[in-house]
Structure 1
Amino acid sequence: MALPYRDRVASLIRRHGEAAGMEGAKETRRAFVDRIELAPASESDGLTIDLHGALAALLRLATGGEGTDAN
């Protein structure tokens, strides 16, 4: 799982440095997120944010969270 995403992130970083690559960088970022759900937080006035997709799985792995699925 890590190698394909490492390559995609490296490509994303390169594209951000090039004016011609910005549109492709946007598409790469979008590919990492399937959906974002916002809901009122039950214990405060804020929001609960649920992130779904490859970015959620990568963040879960990076923080030692359980599960590696993309949701």
Structure 2
Amino acid sequence: MSSALDTLPKIGAPATRALNNAGYTTLRQLAGVPRAELARLHGVGLKALGIIQTALEEHDLSLG
């Protein structure tokens, strides 16, 4: 059975594509990644970053 950490949260197609293209395919991989690094990806905006941060916090993790 897969964990919520093994998938990306629902953040929209452009942001999901941007993360996948950058090599991030799971929520677990985003833990500790600097927020500014993700914000530089085309398609990843403030809303997506907020959703990612909230999803990480549910597992006692956060962005860098």
Q: Do they superpose with TM above 0.5?
A: no
- TM-score interval, normalised by the smaller of the two chains: 0.3 to 0.5
- Tell which has more relative contact order, 1 or 2 (C-alpha 8 A, sep 6+): 2
Structure of higher CA gyration radius: 1
Greater strand proportion: 1
Relative to the length of structure 1, the TM-score reads 0.31
